[in-house]
Structure formats: structure tokens, C-alpha cells
Chains A and B, each alone.
Chain A
Amino acid sequence: MNLKYMYSLLAVIVLFLLAYLGVEAAGLELLFGIVIPYVAVVAFIAGVVYRVMGWARSAVPFPIPSTCGQQKSLPWIKPNKFDNPFTPGAVVVRMILEVCCFRSLFRNTRNSIQEGSKLAFQLEIWLWLGALAFHYAFLTVIVRHLRLFTEPVPAMIKMVETVDSFFRLEVLSDVVRIGVPGIYISGLVLLAAVTFLFIRRIVIPHVKYISLPADFFPLFLIFGIAFTGILMRYFSKVNIRAAKELALGLVSFHPTIPQGIGPVFYVHLFFVCILLAYFPFSKLMHMGGVFLSPTRNLPCNTRAVRHVNPWNYPVEVHTYEEYEEEFREKMIEAGLPVEKE
């Protein structure tokens, strides 16, 4: 038992009960289906703009790019172009690798003493793999959800959906009957990856030690989103036509509450709204932050280009020439040497 994740779990359970009972017992479809989604979207956009502009306003007094390879120096020394980018073009490549492949996470190593006194570095690949699976599965899930927000559905989104349900997984026994509608791989990968990221935080002692409720809360929330989504698609079967009517109503500013969607849908929607509204003010904002990290987005050309601190105070200097100009006569009187007579 650990209070840090118990608080987060409790928070998500309370949110679940709020939405479930709010719709099922209190009949607050209007609140959970229309008001909260709009508030969440506005909070998300305003929050992202606020956070990014805050970072943009922050001065960068020093060039602090992290150097992960040989810097460009003498002509016969081979520089590591993308791990130690010298030009803006190389920085762009580094950023693309960082954003799309999580390159710095791949570099994660664990060291240990082996055979008595040898220090060994081992590639610690599981976090990188889990993170890749998580982020790309989430991206796929978001893209294919656009089928519920667009009419007609763009061919591109249909294609993503087709690829996602490429594997025909079918289990038809007396107990479990899944297979139709087609199984989306992304949903299962998302659920598995978020579970892995959670287990990692409670199993590895030093990761557990630094984990805070703010680390667990998004994991539980995303688990809840994926879980309710999978529940609705394969088990409790939400009315997809009504769900799309609600979604399209929201995005076309003609909001409606269709009949008979069921409380699980509202729980799913509420979780997503909480995630959206929470996003800009949490660690999840690394989505925007990764682009604005000075350790990533500055070129490592410190030996060639001088970085001027933008808020350097203009220091008033009194040069020797000015000094001599001021005191020349007195200096000559006292017999001190002067440069100009």
C-alpha cells in the first residue's frame, strides 16, 4: 500500500462515480454530455497557449544543449552530427528523432558492478519500448476516434482504422465472445502499455520512491479511458450511432443529447474531459515542452557562436582612454606616464 497511488486511484474512482451516478441517478446528461466537454476543450486550448507562451517569454540566459556525441571541432575529428548538432538543420533532425523516436529515452542505461570491480552499463530498453508503444497507440486511438467527429469520414481516417483492425482476432467460446466488431490492436496495446508504465512505477524501488500522485493520476485516468472504451466496443455495446450524433453535435455547435447511449459512454467522455482540462497544467504538458527544451533545441555551437544573455544589463564601462582624457593634466603634473601628450 502506498498513499501516493491510493490518492490517485481514489480520485479516478470518485470521477467515475461522479459521471456514472450523475447520468444514471441524477440524469445530468446535459452537464456531462455538453457543458463539461466544451469547458474542457476551452480549458485545454487556453491552458496550452498559456503554458507555451510562458515558456516563450522565459529568457534563455545560457546555451545549455546536452551534448551526446563529439562536437564539431578540428577537421580530422569526426563530429557526431545529430547527437551534437552544429547547425539549425541538424537541430531539426535531432528534434524529429527526439519527438518521434524518443532518442534520449533510448539512451537510458543502468549501471552495476560486475565480476567484483567492473562497472558495467546495461541498455535499459523497457521504458523506451513501453513509452513508444504507449504514445503511438494513443495517437492511433485519437486518430481513429475522428470517425465519430467527422461526416463524411476522410479516407485517411478510414485507412488508419482498417490498418488498426488488420488482425482478425476472434474468440468464440460459450463464455467469451469477441471478434466482431473487429479488434483494434491500438486499444489493447494502449491498455497493456499503460499497465506496464504503472507496474514499473510500483515494482522498481527507486522509481517508486520518486513517483508522486501526479505521476499515477494520469496513468489511472488513461487506464480508465482505455478500459471504458474497450468495454463499450466489445462488451456492453454502446449505441455508436447515438454516440456519433452527440460528438458531431458538439463539434458543429448544435449540441444534442441523443437517447439511449448509456452511462459507460458518459464515464468515458468525462474521463477524456478531465484529461483534456488537466493536461496543460500537469506533467503531460511535456507534449509542448519537448519542443521548447533548451537542452534539445539549441545548436551545440558554443565554441563558434557567442550566446548573448538577452537580459544582460548594459554595464557602463570607463575605458583607460576616457580615464586618461579626464586626468591627463593631473597625471602629467604628478609625473605619471601618459599615452597621449
Chain B
Amino acid sequence: MSDKKIFLMKDKNIFLIKDKKYIIAGLVFFIALFTFPFWYNSGKAAPGPELKLTDKAKEAKECVMPTAYMRAEHMQLLDIWRQSVVRNSDNIYVNPSGKAFTMSLSNTCLDCHSNKAEFCDKCHDYASVRPYCFDCHIDKPKEIK
């Protein structure tokens, strides 16, 4: 009787070799897929990019709004600017401190930040963002009168 018990206990733990192969292969595949970011970067830390400000931007000290606001909301601001210029033909922006700016990506933003590759692109590339602004507004803005 005890023999029979041992036999059953032991045997329940075996599984068909043929299935075991598939199950372990599937498990290994899943874990490899799940840990993709761990082996893709192969242990190299990639700190965020260092931005370069142009002399003109440094001189101005502050953008149209405070830096923290600009960092978070610049895309929103540009969208509102576009809406304002294109729909309402209002192209003067007055910030809370009373300073007026022409609402223009090419002529206002990129005038100070003329180093798109070392300013805009740095963070956009890092975060894999591809703003469609630059489909039309090219790197070095040419004055269009």
C-alpha cells in the first residue's frame, strides 16, 4: 500500500518530456520579451541631454513665460498661438508681466532658440517626440515678408 502511494506521489511530478520542451521554450521566450529593455540598453545609463542656450537666449533670461511653465506647456502655448493667428488673426501675445510678443514660431521662438539641433531636438529625440511643427517651420527661419 505504501509502495503505491509513493509511486503516485512521485509520478504526479513527472510531465511529458515533449510538452516540457514547448512550455519551457515559451516561458524563456516570454521572459526574454519582457526583459527587453534590460538587455536592449545593456546596462548603459543614458542621462538626459544637456541643452545649449544661445547667447541671445541667455541674455533674455526668461522666455515668454517662466521656464517651468515653458518646459511643460510650450507645445500647448504654440497650439494656442496658432489658433489665435490662423483663426482669429490676432498675432500679439501679451504675457502676465505685460510684455508683448509676436506670435510666431519662426520669427519669435526660433529667433532666440536658433540652435534647433542643440535645443529643441535634444529633448524631442530623447523622449521620442516628433512634433509636426518642423514639417513646415525649418531649422533656420528665413524671414518671409
Contacts and interface: CB of A to CB of B under 8 A. Distances in A.
Interface of A: 44-45, 48-49, 52-53, 55-59, 146-151, 153-154, 157-158, 161-162, 170, 172, 177, 179-181, 237, 239-242, 244-245, 247-249, 251-254, 256, 258, 288, 291-292, 310-311, 313
A166 to B, nearest CB: 12
Nearest to B20: A56
A292 B26 CA distance: 11
Interface string B20-31: 100110110011
Contact of A251 (B4, B20, B41): B41
A237 B46 contact: no
A56 B8 CA distance: 17
A244 B38 contact: no
A151 B126 contact: yes
B26 to A, nearest CB: 6
Contacts of B31: 45, 48-49
Given A181-B129, A310-B16, A151 B46 contact: yes
B144 interface: no
A254 B44 CA distance: 8
Interface stretch (B57-65, B75-83, B102-110): B75-83
A59 B8 contact: no
A177 B76 contact: yes
A149 B39 CA distance: 11
A151 B41 contact: yes
Interface residues of B, number: 48
12 contacts: A153-B128, A162-B130, A172-B83, A177-B80, A240-B129, A241-B49, A241-B123, A245-B47, A249-B45, A251-B41, A252-B41, A311-B11
Contacts of A172: 79-80, 83
Contacts of A249: 45
Instruction: Report whether over half of chain A's contact residues are helix, strand or loop; otherwise say mixed.
Output: helix
B40 to A, nearest CB: 5
**Which 5 A/B pairs are nearest by Cβ-Cβ distance?**
A149-B37, A254-B45, A237-B72, A147-B128, A151-B46
B41 A57 contact: no
B79 A179 contact: yes
B136 interface: no
B43 interface: yes
A52 B20 CA distance: 11
B78 A251 contact: no
A252 B43 contact: yes
B66 interface: no
Contact of A310 (B11, B27, B30, B79): B11
A161 B41 CA distance: 20
B23 A292 contact: yes
Given A158-B128, A241-B48, A253 B79 contact: no
A150 B46 CA distance: 9
